[in-house]
Structure 1
Amino acid sequence: MSSLYKHLRVHQIFGANTDVGKTILTTALSRASASKKFPVFYLKPVSTGAKEHADDRHVARFGGKASKLIHAECLFQYDEPVSPHLAARLKDPENANIPSDDIFIKSVATRIREYARRTGKAAHVYIETAGGVHSPTLSGTTQLDCYRPLFLPTVLIGDSKLGGISSTISAYESLLLRGYIVDAVILFRDEYYRNSEYLTEYFRERGIYVATVDPPPARISDPLQDAEATEKYYEALVSPEIENGVSSVVDYLDVRHGIRLKELESMPQRTLNSVWWPFVQHGTIKGPEDVTVIDSAYGDFFSVARPQTNTNTSSSILSPEFDGSASWWTQTFGHANPSLTMAAARASGRYGHVMFPQATHLPALKLAERMVHNGPGKGWASRAFISDNGSTGMEVALKMALRAYTIRHGSKFTEQDKKNLGILGLKGSYHGDTIGAMDACEEGVYTCEWHNAKGYWFEPPSIGFQDGKPRISVPSSLSSTAKPHTVPAKSLSWIYDVEERLHTPLARGYALYVQRALEKIEQQGQKIAALVIEPLVMGAGGMIFVDPLFQRVLVDVVRGRRSGSSKEWSGMPVIYDEVFVGLNRLGVESAGPILGVYPDISVNAKVLTGGLVPLSVTLATQSIFNAFLNDAKADALLHGHSYTAHPIGCEVANETLAQIDKLVKTDEWKSAKSKWSEYQGEESKVWSLWDPQFVAEVSKLPKVKEAMALGSVFAINFEDSSAGYTSFFAQNLLSPLKKPFEDSGLSNAPGGAPYGIHYRTLGNIGYFMTSLNTKASVIRSLEDKIWRTIAN
């Protein structure tokens, strides 16, 4: 990432296969560039075989009259003429010093940055890979995946031999599946197989520049004669008089480079002219400098361009930014995950989109079985309703709950009563931006003119670290003194040991408060039909870490019992909105085991598909399902969307869940869990990828009221007299995080460039979110940057 310069045009050379002429044609490109008076940097990241036959030496030798302008080098050289991964293992059988992908990519990126600093005028860089697109690198990772963090525009060398049409197209499609920009295809002409004729037409139809050139002459046994013949070949190959030859390719690559630069430069103003952003007050946008242009994304990082970064010609137009909100809480394994991309392509190629009512397909069936029998619905759910997104999933859940309630109690209500049924929830709730989901929340900044809040919302007690210690903050409405106060806790693990805390005075106080509130609601004639909660953490409401004991007591009182073991819902249906918190976002698959009670209906989304495509699953008990079950069509759940249970989303979800199953067993997760247990001095049900000492120390800072972390989520409640969603306090305070830190020792972005942090705030609440597989080293560097920003 961040390897785009105004004056330095960089292209990576991939081959459709091994022995297709990559080095010959890259030598020709380098020579053609030098003949046009451009300084040329040729880089062969890894080479195998004897040094005297190494590709970088060949390029230097046959650079032509302008060879003094060509600098050629190799980073990792191995003697054995075999695949790089095998050559590395033969040299280092214990695998003790084989460079990792991170080290390998940082080495390449560092070289590119050096090239940019070494020349102040226009120059060309050619980076030649080894073998075919899927040939392994030193670690064994295929080249396509290893080089992807750099996101360099590509020249593909086609295969002119037997079978070359297939291998070339397959290589091209593999590049596209990983997001590469393919600027040109070059291949040799062959009078027998004539692959170039077919491939030229194939690629030109797709807008790809194609150049076909004469193949090299046969080798001559005499070295001097062979060198002379090779020199003549190159001289002819790069001649500017040859139409659509190598010299023309160099010109075209320059044009493509210029187009990309102009596009990035124009995008901010074009966006301001055409786009209406969500959750943005356009009146506060000063100009193009306020627009973040995301050129690409990989892993946990965006590669972004901003006008103010263009002042230094030796600096990259692009810079890495950590995706600090996990792209609105969706990312599971980071961006451009190849396994998820392949899952989407697999389903797209097999199905596209197909109708789902009274039909089935394997991705949807497997997803439903996984979610019901081996996922968050295990032990309580019997059905899965698959829809488009979290907000839609919540509308489905509300429809289920209201129908179940009215069927059981319908004889008591008039038709108007049914239309006015409300829900029970918590202040600060947010269940999505569709109007029905909005109506399940009280009036707030997200609602609109049609909003008709139907229900009653409790002010929840919350938890967090204050002055280094975990505490429970009890609001005035729940306090016997009618004043807010905090309750010290033995430890964070004790707070989440709900079963033990059920016998405390605080639990009895919670229960008494809820019971009295329900009695008052009934006396006022308001009809409540469902309890809807975001368990453990209320996201959009301000990253409120709700006291789990309060939510447990709330469920128990509503149901009129301590246990959720009955197969029939009681009191009123209970809905868990786990769109944000579910599927290990907080380090647990579901809130049910922590609260000790399970819902009648739950909703999962976001993490479900790894942040690649929208999808939601609403789980329900058999009791809820039975409310819609009879012979009358009108009594069915008449709810659905065109893309209900779309195969692409379902297949991606299945792949995501399979990867999560592996992730929870990794050493990084085990290490993070152990660190939290050691910090608390006891085994804990809850933990975080964020360091517990860091969270505690942040909570001691003068500007901080409270800090808290669970799973991948870390939130800071800043002291602010105008606290609330409309506050700009956190946004302004954290603004230095956007600037890349120059300390390269803290850089864990792909390629090793200093990075900034792209973050979102909720008024006076600053929050940061990682993927589930973000490396501990990256999180430690994030903690350091956050600390240095808010401790000053």
Structure 2
Amino acid sequence: MAPVGAGLWRTLRAHQVYGANTDVGKTIVSTVLCNAVQRQKQRAAFLKPVSTGALDDADDRHIERYGAGTLTKCLYQFDEPVSPHIAAKSKTIPRDDDLLASIHKTLSTWARTDIDFALVETAGGVHSPGPNGNSQADLYRPLRLPIVLVADSRLGGISSSISAYESLLLRGYDVQSVLLFRDDYYQNHDYLGEYFRNKSIPLVHLPAPPSKPLQMDADALKRDEEAMFKYYRQASEESDILRLLDELNLRNEQRIEKLEEMANRAHDLIWYPFTQHQGMQAKDITVIDSAHDDYFQTFGSGRTENSESELRPTFDGSASWWTQGLGHGNPDLALSAAYAAGRYGHVMFAGAIHEPALSLADNLLKALDNPRFGKVFYTDNGSTGMEVAVKMGLRVACDRYGWDASEEKINILGLKGSYHGDTIGVMDCSEPSTYNKKVEWYRGRGHWFDFPLVKMVDGKWKVEVPAELQEDLGSDMDFNSLGSVFDLDQRLGSETSQRYKKYIHDTIKDLVDTHGMKFGALILEPVILGAGGMLFCDPLFQRCLTDVVREHPELFSSNAPPAKESPSWSGLPVVFDEVFTGLYRLGRPTSASFLGVHPDIAVNAKLLTGGLIPLCTTAASKEIFDTFSSPEKSDALLHGHSYTAHAMGCTVAVDSLRTMSEMDKDGSWDGYRADWREESTLTETATPEVWSVWSNALLKDLSCAESVESVFAIGTVLSISLHDEQGAGYTSNAAKGLQQDLAAGGDQFNVHSRVLGNVLYLMSSVTSKPESLKEMERLLRSSLT
């Protein structure tokens, strides 16, 4: 099913009517508003997505009778006068996506006619269930229509009305007006009027409708009908109602005007990250009105064939810089953040503890399942988390080997193309590149190994060895499946493994003995080096590099103790930067598990909070922690920031980890696993389970495309390298054409994507729907094959 765009039309002012409770008079309010519109010589329409109860009592029938010519429509009618989720049990239940699509299609059709104003009325209260049992507040969220909230004028109505408002606010709705009936006894309208006035939300109170006759004989029915006609005529002529309609019209116009201005204003005011502004124009800026699930709702990105809406669903193809795990606008995570904000706000962390930080540390260590880890250090983002990791690693190495870092240059070992962030310390842990070589303080400190790459070319998996290393490492290797590439139990006994280890050993020995270099840590991005260009390192090479470092401490110091077993570190402390690849991004709790390695230090961020809020953890062994313990304050790890371990982030992270762990166990990804398991059956021996949400068939098709140099996929990540006669690299423009094709998109949605030189990568969340991914694959095939 195609994703539904949010509703915003120039020619149609569409609103959704929610009630603070059941039986608060939503339909009466809707009828008043529609009458007022009709009396202004405009056309009104009323849509009831789901109606329950007798047809004669249906809300759309009421408005048809009293709405002064209002166009009415009901999409799904159930006979029983009960909640939709119960009434629907005896009928064919519409899928939520189908229901939303029908609403959007109906409104879009009306927008192309002479309809000026439309109301979409919900059933019951804000959290009354829809046909499939989920809250209406969540069900209708993708449409994100502006809200007309009908408050409750009865006893207890103040509480229920404010609660309804807060529930809508929590989900990102814009409540544009509140209406309720006057009740001179409870006087809820006075209290709520002041409450919503402070929120800059207009509240209109209406006269209570006439009471229904106790005996509904023919004469009583006639009198009731006459009374209702009179009521609607008088109520719809009230000046407050007419002013409200003018206000709603103005807000619709202002919303569009603001969206139209945003790109130009941003072009004038914003300094964008990772962006060369020379030649950049306002039209190059994506205007995002909201986001939900896997999609931005973007303005000015082109309308689909079936919609006149100003907003279009745009697939978030970079997972918002790799952060999205559980979807945009996730109500569970939003509620968790709101709870923590309400309970704590922010409290300082040094020398204190709160439940969310303690729970997260405990749950994270269990999820990482690393016997070396015993302590968790909190920071705010991946770069600062890596700064902490470097401080840890260098300190313990200098302490063990008796080095004085103030007098000696201590380097790190890593891989070419590494990237660990943009703060000065970790910037020095990467080789000179586009990211850092023009930064005045940059002083690259280390040695970075070139390495074999994993890729699919012409339908076959291969490990490609750099030409300059083939004499040492051997020639390229072909594999039957991606799982066989990760079959390290078998590959560690191969000649290739021995070649890798000898080359690594000899290189380090030469660097230390001949060039006098000292190394304080081995820092790796396990499996994939992200910002360096989505470089898929042969896992055997990373495993061999780790093994050589740990098994040969004598390489680094003549007074090094013999190699030690876990949990003690040996040779050099091993730091894994899992900011990008950790926590199910590649389909597993840790990317370290692909290598069969337990690092001494690991950094996690991005998916840690499901993409909602910044937070980072650096986990380390008790032995590393103890190195910083002394009577001197200056020996402590003097690192932190004001919002360390903020309660909102920790609370959200606990829920995010739990949700992803449950998905791992409950079969949510079994379909993807099955697809990739079929690929692995081609091998002669059992191989580790490695899978992707991107289909095996897609990879084979794309890898054979004329313009494609290679592809790979693992977990939620898909990488496509395009041929570039000028040479690959970050400054290449080879992927721009594909990026533009995806931005144009198809009838269902378009795609916002990022490129790294000649590489275009796409990334889903862990909750992406198979239907969305299939459409993405169709767009890719259309562009490349």
Inter-partner Cα distance in structure 2 for 1:353 and 1:636: 24
Amino acid in structure 1 at the alignment position of 2:507: A
Match of 2:570 in 1: 570
Aligned ranges 1:124-139 → 2 under 5 Å: 124-139=117-132
Q: Is the 8 A contact 2:85 2:132 kept in 1?
A: yes
Q: Give the C-alpha shift of residue 527 in structure 1.
A: 1.1
Match of 2:226 in 1: 228
Unpaired runs of at least 5, structure 2: 554-562
Amino acid in structure 2 at the alignment position of 1:259: Q
1:558 pairs with one of 522, 545, 549: 549
Aligned ranges 1:622-633 → 2 under 5 Å: 622-633=622-633
Amino acid in structure 2 at the alignment position of 1:266: E
Match of 1:458 in 2: 449
User: In structure 2, do the counterparts of structure 1 residues 151 and 485 end up closer, same or farther at CA, with 3 Å as the change threshold?
Assistant: farther
Aligned ranges 1:372-771 → 2 under 5 Å: 372=365, 374-410=366-402, 412-413=403-404, 415-417=406-408, 420-447=409-436, 448-480=439-471, 485-522=475-512, 523-560=514-551, 565-681=565-681, 683-722=687-726, 723-742=728-747, 754-771=748-765
User: In structure 2, do the counterparts of structure 1 residues 84 and 313 end up closer, same or farther at CA, with 3 Å as the change threshold?
Assistant: closer
Single out whichever of 587-596 and 323-332 deviates more from structure 2: 587-596
Residue 182 of structure 2 corresponds to residue 189 of structure 1: yes
Match of 1:345 in 2: 338
Partner SS for 2:208: coil
Alpha-carbon displacement from aligned partner over 1:556-604 (angstroms, at most 9, x marks no partner): 1111269984221111111000000000100111123221221110000
Aligned ranges 1:234-253 → 2 under 5 Å: 234-239=232-237, 242-244=238-240, 246-253=241-248
Q: Give the C-alpha shift of residue 102 in structure 1.
A: 1.4
Q: Is the 8 A contact 1:116 1:314 kept in 2?
A: no
Inter-partner Cα distance in structure 2 for 1:509 and 1:213: 84
Q: Give the C-alpha shift of residue 414 in structure 1.
A: 6.4
Residue 63 of structure 2 corresponds to residue 59 of structure 1: yes
Match of 2:558 in 1: none
Inter-partner Cα distance in structure 2 for 1:310 and 1:479: 52
Alpha-carbon displacement from aligned partner over 1:654-685 (angstroms, at most 9, x marks no partner): 01001011111243411211211112215542
Inter-partner Cα distance in structure 2 for 1:291 and 1:616: 29
Inter-partner Cα distance in structure 2 for 1:757 and 1:86: 38
Match of 1:749 in 2: none
Per the normalisation by structure 1, the TM-score is 0.94
Residue 773 of structure 2 corresponds to residue 779 of structure 1: yes
Amino acid in structure 1 at the alignment position of 2:266: T
Match of 1:149 in 2: 142
Q: Is the 8 A contact 2:739 2:755 kept in 1?
A: no
2:95 pairs with one of 93, 97, 100: 100
Residue 116 of structure 2 corresponds to residue 111 of structure 1: no
Residue 33 of structure 2 corresponds to residue 29 of structure 1: yes
Amino acid in structure 2 at the alignment position of 1:294: I
Q: Is the 8 A contact 1:49 1:78 kept in 2?
A: yes
Residue 6 of structure 2 corresponds to residue 12 of structure 1: no
Partner SS for 2:579: coil
Per the normalisation by structure 2, the TM-score is 0.95
Inter-partner Cα distance in structure 1 for 2:192 and 2:111: 35
Inter-partner Cα distance in structure 2 for 1:485 and 1:506: 9
Match of 1:292 in 2: 286
User: In structure 2, do the counterparts of structure 1 residues 46 and 276 end up closer, same or farther at CA, with 3 Å as the change threshold?
Assistant: same
Q: Is the 8 A contact 2:484 2:687 kept in 1?
A: no
Match of 1:71 in 2: 71
Q: Is the 8 A contact 2:418 2:529 kept in 1?
A: yes
Q: Is the 8 A contact 1:7 1:313 kept in 2?
A: no
User: In structure 2, do the counterparts of structure 1 residues 297 and 414 end up closer, same or farther at CA, with 3 Å as the change threshold?
Assistant: closer
Alpha-carbon displacement from aligned partner over 1:112-138 (angstroms, at most 9, x marks no partner): 122123x1x561110010000000000
Inter-partner Cα distance in structure 2 for 1:211 and 1:565: 73
Amino acid in structure 1 at the alignment position of 2:159: S
Inter-partner Cα distance in structure 1 for 2:64 and 2:52: 17
Q: Give the C-alpha shift of residue 309 in structure 1.
A: 3.7
Q: Is the 8 A contact 1:628 1:635 kept in 2?
A: yes
Amino acid in structure 2 at the alignment position of 1:104: L
Match of 1:38 in 2: 42
1:169 pairs with one of 158, 162, 170: 162
Inter-partner Cα distance in structure 1 for 2:489 and 2:181: 73
Inter-partner Cα distance in structure 1 for 2:124 and 2:273: 45
Inter-partner Cα distance in structure 2 for 1:23 and 1:252: 21
Q: Is the 8 A contact 2:262 2:287 kept in 1?
A: yes
Q: Is the 8 A contact 1:4 1:317 kept in 2?
A: yes
Partner SS for 2:367: coil
Inter-partner Cα distance in structure 2 for 1:596 and 1:605: 21
Q: Give the C-alpha shift of residue 486 in structure 1.
A: 2.2
Alpha-carbon displacement from aligned partner over 1:394-415 (angstroms, at most 9, x marks no partner): 00100000111111112x4463
Amino acid in structure 1 at the alignment position of 2:7: S
Amino acid in structure 2 at the alignment position of 1:571: G
Q: Give the C-alpha shift of residue 51 in structure 1.
A: 0.2
Partner SS for 1:185: strand
Amino acid in structure 1 at the alignment position of 2:80: E
Inter-partner Cα distance in structure 2 for 1:354 and 1:336: 25
Q: Is the 8 A contact 1:679 1:693 kept in 2?
A: no
Alpha-carbon displacement from aligned partner over 1:718-737 (angstroms, at most 9, x marks no partner): 11123111112102233111
User: In structure 2, do the counterparts of structure 1 residues 526 and 490 end up closer, same or farther at CA, with 3 Å as the change threshold?
Assistant: same
Inter-partner Cα distance in structure 2 for 1:731 and 1:354: 45
Inter-partner Cα distance in structure 2 for 1:289 and 1:570: 54
Inter-partner Cα distance in structure 1 for 2:348 and 2:166: 28
Inter-partner Cα distance in structure 2 for 1:310 and 1:696: 32
User: In structure 2, do the counterparts of structure 1 residues 415 and 283 end up closer, same or farther at CA, with 3 Å as the change threshold?
Assistant: closer
Inter-partner Cα distance in structure 2 for 1:37 and 1:451: 68
Number of residue equivalences:
759
Q: Give the C-alpha shift of residue 485 in structure 1.
A: 4.8
Q: Is the 8 A contact 2:745 2:779 kept in 1?
A: no
Identical amino acids, percent of aligned pairs: 45
Inter-partner Cα distance in structure 1 for 2:201 and 2:348: 35
Inter-partner Cα distance in structure 1 for 2:620 and 2:231: 72
Inter-partner Cα distance in structure 2 for 1:87 and 1:575: 57
Inter-partner Cα distance in structure 1 for 2:187 and 2:585: 54
Inter-partner Cα distance in structure 1 for 2:309 and 2:287: 14
Q: Is the 8 A contact 1:668 1:776 kept in 2?
A: no
Inter-partner Cα distance in structure 2 for 1:79 and 1:597: 61
Q: Give the C-alpha shift of residue 741 in structure 1.
A: 1.1
Inter-partner Cα distance in structure 2 for 1:592 and 1:738: 34
Inter-partner Cα distance in structure 1 for 2:588 and 2:717: 12
Partner SS for 1:14: strand
Match of 1:746 in 2: none
